Amino acid sequence: MKQIVLFLFFSISLYSQKYTEEFVSSKLGQSREITIGLPNSYEKNPTKKYPILVLLDSDYLFDPFYGALSYGEYWEDLPETIIIGINQNKNKERIDDCTYNEDTNLPSGKGASFFEFLGGELLPYIEKKYRVAPFRIIAGHDTTAGYLNFFLYKDYSIFNAYISLSPELVPGMDTQIPERFAGLKQPLFYYQSTGDGDLKDVLESVNKLDTNIKTAANPKINYRYDAFKGASHYSTVLYSIPNALYHIFDCYKPISMTEFTEKISVLQTGQVKYLTDRYDVIEKTLRFKVQIRVSDFKAIEAAILKNKSYQELDKLADIAKKNYPKSMLADYELGLMYEKTGDLKRAAKAYQKAYQFDEIGDLSKDMMIEKSDEMQSLIPKKK
């Protein structure tokens, strides 16, 4: 019985998507509780790599971020992301962790140790243990949101994106951050937010920072500031999280109806290049490779058919073969090209061949049989 219980416990732990562990830190001289949230596909895709989100104030920020990411992942608007939360016991540890010297306005004491813990211990540990892409986000609220800006003071930021929610900025940050932005050579996302019911000091310092960032005007900084009406210092968090995530991952979203109508359907040719260029931008911006969505294949197919640029379907088939080699998508696109160009025999053969592969999206084996039979019925009979 004891063995069965242990087995069940091990099985649940092994496949759990959210769990906590104690991390023993030599920098802090103590153990810290961290919470890890893994994407649902983590065990199923042993070669896939994921961006990571490091959450300060994880004890109350973890669930809102976890929920927003899960929802966005479901609709393929947001990428699956590994969340690493540092629990800071709301008041005691978070204040100590964010300690800074009032003369230099730099991390000191426990604050300096926490800085080294995050960059020198926790991140290397996570990146050795899990399959992570080289795209890192850090997020915090009020005290921790101000503190995370210290990582911008380095010559090279170890984070690619910052989410600063109602930040309590350290003195001087309203000028030092824009100065760092002005000379930064690496692409960077920076999101900050407040509510009109926020703390007075927060509003004043953030508004100064906002003005100065806009003055810096570095095209490599992808910046957004939201000031929410009717939001308090605490409710601002729930307003901000989806906006922040969609700001950072904007290029990741699937093709929308607006994009299709305004940018793709008007192309007389080059629809497939538009698709591959779009995914090249995702990979370059977010630093991880994304498989082309089936829905995006169908959008490009629809644009090709609308403009009667049927030879583009041949190129679309090549891309489909690379992305979904076991599916019927590639041969279906070839069959469609032959059908539209009047080569009914080759169309019938292509649909027959597609039948042998896996179904995908709205493409089924029954559909391939019907298409093949339809093509054969249209072939003129020899007298």
Q: What is the C-alpha to C-alpha distance for residues 170 and 155, in angstroms, rounded to an integer?
A: 19
Q: What pLDDT, on a 0 to 100 scale, did the predictor assign at position 17?
A: 83
DSSP 8-class letter at 48: -
Q: Encode 49-82: b = buried (16+ Cβ within 10 Å), e = exposed.
A: bbbbbbbbbbbebbeebbebbbebbeebbbbbbb
- Rounded Cα distance, 17 and 50, in Å: 14
Its pTM stands at 0.91
What single string gives the DSSP state of each residue in 364-383? -HHHHHHHHHHHHHHSPPP-
Host H or E run for residue 70? helix 58-74
What is each CA distance from 334 to 194, 340, 348, in whole angstroms? 53, 10, 10
The CATH superfamily of 257-378 is Tetratricopeptide repeat domain (1.25.40.10)
pLDDT of the residue at 90 = 58
The pLDDT, as a whole number, for residue 36 is: 97
pLDDT value of residue 16? 47
296: its two tokens: 């995006």
CA 329, CA 363: separation in Å to the nearest integer? 8
Q: Which of 368, 358, 307 is nearest to 336 (CA)?
A: 368
For residue 6, give the H/E element and its range. Answer: helix 2-15
- Record: fold of 15-252: Rossmann fold (3.40.50)
For the chain, domain boundaries: 15-252, 257-378
User: Which regions of the chain are under pLDDT 70?
Assistant: 1-16, 90-91, 383
